Amino acid sequence: MSELYDRELSCLAAADDPSLPIMAVRPTNLSAFLGGLPPAQSAYLAQSGFSAKAGTLGLLPGPDGVDAAVLGLGAESGPLAYAALAGLPAETTWHLADDIESPADAFLGFCFAAYSYDVLKTAEPSRATGPRLVPPPRAERLISAARATWLVRDLINLPANILGPSELARAATDVLTRSIALRKGATVRVVDGAALEEGYPAIAAVGRGSFRQPCVVIAEWRGPGADDESPLISLCGKGVCFDTGGYDLKPSASMLRMKKDMGGAAIAIGLARMIIDAALPVRLAVRLGCAENSVSGNAMRPLDILRTRAGLRVEVGNTDAEGRLVLCDLLTDASDEKPALLLDFATLTGAARVALGPEVSALFCNDETVAASLADSANFVHDPVWRLPLWPGYTKWLDSNVADMNNIAAKPYAGAIVAALFLQRFVGPGIRWAHFDVYGWNDSTTPGQPEGGEAKAMRAAYEAICRFVQAA
């Protein structure tokens, strides 16, 4: 099944393949750039109307045909500024010129834009092979980031009839154990059945309405040189493979994209593999709650009172607020290990999308230093997040008359904040924690961001973890 979600980067060429150079220029430097070209090429590019506008491509002629390519950057920066490179002629091979402004952004932008998902089509694609790129020197981490992005997109794009809870657990196990580094002193286990009912009762309740049984994936790994004193990085991901809303049924239009509701788990898997690929000197723990929120005679009902791993009892104010029930058990379990840093990822609330739109992930954090590092890391790698407050005044909105708390607020405001406050109740004291409320999806195709699943906040979190480890 791995051919459906963990593919090689087919857009890359070998280092010794014959290739043509790619150059990039901004409008402010265009005159000097033209002056540095051979006269014939300079005249050709100028007379073709090339102005270095963002996303424009120009091809330079040579004695044997095309000699080079020039990308206009405009005022843009980051990987998406280079996404137009995927529009280079089919069946051509390229390399980045030595003086290109940002080889890392150019490489990632090319790979992001080269992604397509057609592995479920029965016929071979009729289109010609797209352009290929020779990676720049020492590109191992860039290749890891690009492949993790393809992995996350693939997992989210898989339909729920193919990727249910057990299949998601199998995919996570397969991806993580296939790493040579992970096989050394690592464990990956799946908790289901009676053990899940006992140890993760809220997750069991969420998945009880589906004939496809819920489960929890727990993976642990130590990087080379890591010991018992090395930082423990703990990742948790919401893996609801399809969300009908339960008895609080979603409208059909709102259900159309609910195969993406496991996007948090997919992002956690991709991030874990980036950490492993880089052999960071950390202890790593990954927990994924895999379930399907469906409707049946066994499904949880509005006003049911559920037991959680933490011992708190939660009244179900709305069965469509199931993601926080999945995460609460995972966060309790992770907190028991006293991690140095605890991150969770979830496609949790529509309110976050109303506040920030589809491109910016909502960040909640209980530690100012960690929050600042995450925000700076997000800006540095052009993977946007925006911090929203864990506003304590809204905590009482989760009060219940019959249980320790409700899973929704008594007021129709601040839905993303209230969801984060719910999760915070299950984070152990003194633990540095960040919660990412992500969309995990591109509504339409734009350069470098094809319609479908997307690895939101993954590269930002990875950069912040690298900085955290360096400072430890």
- CATH number at 240 reads 3.40.630.10
Beta-strand ranges (E) seen in 213-296 are 215-222, 232-243, 283-293
> Of 134, 168, 198, which residue is a domain's last?
134
315 with 421, same domain? yes
Q: Give the C-alpha separation, 338 to 335, whole Å.
A: 5
Instruction: Give the domain extent around 400.
Output: 141-471
> Same domain for 286 and 367?
yes
- Same domain assignment for residues 275 and 396: yes
Q: Please answer whether residues 447 and 84 qualify as being in contact, where contact means their C-beta atoms are separated by less than 8 angstroms.
A: yes
pLDDT at 405: 98
Q: What is the pLDDT of residue 180?
A: 58
Give yes or no: 250 in active site. Answer: yes
Domain boundary among 88, 109, 134: 134
In order along its 472 residues, the chain shows pLDDT tens digits of 778 998 999 999 999 999 999 999 999 999 999 999 999 999 999 999 999 999 999 999 999 899 999 999 999 999 999 999 999 999 999 999 999 999 999 999 999 999 999 889 987 655 558 999 999 999 999 999 999 999 999 999 999 999 999 999 999 999 998 765 655 667 899 999 999 999 999 999 999 999 999 999 999 999 998 999 999 999 999 999 999 999 999 999 999 999 999 999 999 999 999 999 999 999 999 999 999 999 999 999 999 999 999 999 999 999 999 999 999 999 999 999 999 999 999 999 999 999 999 999 999 999 999 999 999 999 999 999 999 999 999 999 999 999 999 999 999 999 999 999 999 999 999 999 999 999 999 999 999 999 999 999 999 999 999 999 999 8
Q: According to the model, what pLDDT value does residue 177 have?
A: 87
Same domain, 111 and 176: no
Q: 3-state DSSP helix/strand/coil percent for the chain, to nearest 5?
A: 40, 20, 40
Predicted pLDDT at 243: 98
Catalytic residue (one of 53, 250, 307, 313) = 250
Rounded Cα distance between 418 and 358, Å, is 19
Q: Give the chain's domain count.
A: 2
For residues 109 and 178, membership in a common domain is answered with no
Where is the domain boundary, 134, 152, 169?
A: 134
Q: Which member of 259, 309, 324, 425 is catalytic?
A: 324
Same domain? 129 vs 189: no
* Tokens 């066994």, residue located: 298
- Whether 105 and 234 map to the same domain: the answer is no
Asked if residue 197 and residue 278 are part of one domain, the reply reads: yes
What integer pLDDT is reported at residue 124 of this predicted model? 67
> What pLDDT, on the 0 to 100 scale, is given for residue 239?
98
260 is catalytic: no
pLDDT at 341: 98
Q: Which two tokens stand for residue 258?
A: 């609910």
Q: Residue 384: how many CA atoms within 13 Å on its side-chain side? A: 9
Distance CA 342, CA 286 (A): 10
Q: What's 367's DSSP letter?
A: -
Residue 278 one-letter amino acid: A
What's residue 25's pLDDT? 98
Domain co-membership, 119 together with 147: no
Same domain, 410 and 353: yes
CATH number at residue 41: 3.40.220.10
Nearest to 135 by CA among 110, 102, 107: 107
SS3 state at 421: helix
3-state secondary structure of 57: strand
Residues 175 and 118 in one domain: no
Contact status, residue 333 vs residue 203, Cβ threshold 8 Å: no
- Report pLDDT for 129: 84
Tokens representing residue 31 in the block:
């005159």
Whether residues 58 and 106 share a domain: the answer is yes
